[in-house]
Amino acid sequence: QLRNAVARAGEIKNAVCLGLGSIRYTSPWTYNEHYVQQCGVFIALCQMIEEKQKMELGSLPVIFQDPAFQIEDRFILEQSGGQTIVQSPEANNHINMHSFVYAPHFPANYLFDTILREGHEPELLYTNTFHGSLGPIGWLITDSYLKKVYWTQDTTINQQSVNMYNAARRFLEN
């Protein structure tokens, strides 16, 4: 499925990894195997993109951002070379219609203000919080609407819910 998604994608000029997490698990003596797996999937997808676009391996600009990064994470990513590590919210400046965004643990409630900003939707998005037919994203839109109704007793659909729905629909239709 991942190869098919890469094959269908248009031109990708950079890759942005958000919410990877930290390699430290519960103590300095153990590591988070999910971090290693997720990082490996991201790097493999970047290589697939480079192969598809006939780019030299390692030439796709790669940006990492996660507030959970510790010194160990920065060291590992910097030593593997070719990556840029930025502080939140700087990665938003690198996301556009020619981006591949990999966000395995990115909080869904921040998608609309970051990854799915109108006119900046990425060419390819991989996240565990987004599925066809709105899926769990529909819950975010519903939650936004229900909170508004609860606090104001006004049952009209608010603009924030409309904007969230439109952003999700726009991305799914592409």
- pTM, whole model, 2 decimals? 0.75
Rounded mean pLDDT of 83-95?
94
H-state helical runs in 12-158: 33-52, 71-80, 135-152
Do residues 159 and 153 make contact, with C-beta atoms less than 8 angstroms apart? no
Highest mean pLDDT among 88-97, 107-116, 160-169: 88-97
Residue 10: both structure tokens together: 């248009």
Cα torsion 136, 138, 140, 142: sign: negative
Give percent of the chain above pLDDT 90.
34
Q: Could you tell me which residue, 29 or 77, shows the higher pLDDT?
A: 77
Tokens 């997720």 sit at which residue?
A: 38
Q: How far apart are CA 117 and CA 135, in angstroms?
A: 19
- Asked if pLDDT for residue 133 goes beyond 60, the answer is no
Task: Convert 115-132 to b/e letters by CB count within 10 Å (16 or more is b).
Answer: bbeeeebbbbbbbebbee
User: Closest Cα partner for 66 from 49, 42, 44, 48?
Assistant: 42
Q: Please state which of the ranges 19-33, 54-68, 71-85, 113-127 shows the lowest mean pLDDT.
A: 19-33
